[in-house]
Structure 1
Amino acid sequence: MGGRTHARSTKESSVVNLVLTGVHVVFILFIIVMGFAHGDARNLSRPADPAHSPGGFFPHGAAGVFNGAAAVYLSYIGYDAVSTMAEEVERPDRDIPAGVSGSVVLVTVLYCLMATSMSMLLPYDAIDPEAPFSGAFKGRDGMAWVSNVIGAGASLGILTSLMVAMLGQARYLCVIGRSGVVPAWLARVDPRTATPINASAFLGLLTAALALFTELDVLLNLVSIGTLFVFYMVANAVVYRRYVGDPCPGSGQKRRAWPALAFIAAFSLIAISFTLLWQFAPGGAAKVGLLSGTAAVAVAAVVAFQALVPQAREPELWGVPGMPWVPAASVFLNVFLLGSLDRPSYVRFGFFSAFAVLFYVFYSVHASYDAEEGGAVDGGGGGDKLQDQGCDV
């Protein structure tokens, strides 16, 4: 269904997405209200089985919090899909940052309220991991209808998330298909609807195959590690772009890159050291001292970089505030959460990354060079020139 919808015009698919998202938000608000209305605040700190489960508001300590954060980090993917729609909005320099920032804030608030309501409904060790919200109401007298409503809303949420993800990914494949990084067939734009029809169909089939043949836990961990790594790279790219650039537009003289690159490398090593100490150092005062010292070194590195290296450019309208503290915090947090994932996730991510690198080296480099030399990419359908053709306008 998602593939067929996105094969039509973006206006039509956006209307469908808007309606489904609106209904989904209503379901979320319904869950939050029911959770707070029928929950018990004492469940936030008491387990259902005190003999076998620790109690307290942080029953598994800080390690449990960060391990959980790494596992559910995939909940924050999808905002990058907004940036892929830059060709399809009137003021991308204004609308894209506003859309990303606003959606992150709104969804964060809803996630926190849902987590709180769930924790109030049941003690943490009594929550059904397969169906937490619907299971919480299923055993309550007269609340079976709430469980059914929540189940329907969850199914709708899966459809909404799938459609939003495909909307952005199809445009992304279209753009890199134009440059030859992937087969130009994926850049084929339907002449009637002006949408990347081949990319949408390919993603629909691929998504269905993954859902059919792959276990959910495997997909969740793989998506989490991929998302964390991408966010880590983006944070470093923000530092590089802000501190290495053309200080005088049109002069053609770029600032030396080595100070920014040295900071990126050094700060990443500090974050990795902190993560390894957190994971493997034996507990005690020595561990606390090492962690505190590493954190102090990280802060000192940011302070020194901010004092010694001036920014090469200022954003015209929107820009990351608090440079370089915000991207540095993002780098540190992403590296730390990456250290909380299990070993099989790294093995799968390694195979996927190796495949991507080999594909890029043996295909994308040559194909993109040929596309640049030819000045256009043939979409595989009658020689249409797609190099300058937008993916839905």
Structure 2
Amino acid sequence: MRKSSMLVFSLMFLYIVIFLLSMYFLPIIFNQQYGFPMFLLISVMTFGICYFTYQYASNYVNAHRQNHEKTKEIMESILEISDSILTIKDKQQLFQLILEKAVQCIDDADLGSLLILKEDNLLEYKALVGYDKEKFKNLQLKLEDSFLYRYNHGDTSQSCIIRDVQQYDKNHLSQDTYEELYHADGFITKTALSTPIKVDNKLYGIINVDSKNLHGFTDLDMSFMEYFANQITTVIKNQESLDKLLYLLKHDNLTNIYNRYYFEEIFDDLLDRAERYNESFAIAMFDLDNLKITNDTLGHQRGDLLIQQFAQGLKSTVRKTDIVARYGGDEFVAVFLYADFQTVISIINNLHAYFINHPVVIEDAIIANEFSYGIAHYPSDGTKRKELLKIADTRMYLNKHHHKQ
């Protein structure tokens, strides 16, 4: 507004200057007979020039202001998405938030979809706005069937606007793919603005904002959408870095099962739930009997193979509801939900059989993992974490002593 006011003031000042100069010079240049008509002509021309100049400048200022406001709106949305990284549960929520903000920011956008490119070159729908999620749940698109690929002849780095989406897809898609989209109500939109999401200069996914208006979206909207997509690339990379960090905080680096820190955290939550709902469970401690001799004779790298294989065997033997973790150097722990002693012993017998059938081959040596174990039961043996772990640990060392005899 301030710039517009200054512009109007400048134009009015220019008009007055020209007006005064004409009043001074016209009587000198022309005789009195033609002075007034010439004055009137120059006044009209000056006013016309000033008026059209003002209109042009005013439109320019308004367009610049609208662009600035739209850019500001997009940046505020990006900041909101970035701030949510620490509170959202998973990437699915992140993708949904990204899409919702895109639809909100782009004029004429009523619906939208966000697709992620998988390793098999299929695009999977990860977020939807305005469409039935159930109908798109199992629907995947070949990259070659995407708007970007078809419109740009294989160049997926450029955005595009597709008008009359249903007719366009009918002309370019296979009959099966077209019918899948038709039955999913994918053609309630008239116009689609499709933009690539690139991470590390590679196609990561596609974000589509759709309009029910056949003449929706402009090249300016496409520029805004490209700017939005470029900004969310950083957000996605930050989310992936955070996911990796959280994974490392929760998992043992050698075995990729839970570490002691995270196990104790979820075990305390398990105790609270068991007490609240009167549930029971068993906890077992495991110790690798032949790890030390393997380390001493074949080296720690060979010993690491035993540790990794034990973790793999434990994960493959327990039930999906059970929890396993590496508790120390050669110690592992497992929680068996809703299980009594006999159930746990049966699982451990299966674990013994697993290692007999899957020995570790180290150079010329064939080694079967051997282990000792101890079991404690909640609530019959105790109700506190330290108490239960101590009982299981004591029984494990009794079992180890029995093996040595």
TM-score by length of structure 1 reads: 0.23
Query: Larger % of strand: which?
Result: 2
TM-score by length of structure 2 reads: 0.23
Indicate the structure (1 or 2) with the bigger Cα radius of gyration: 2
Higher relative contact order (CA 8 A, sep 6+): 1
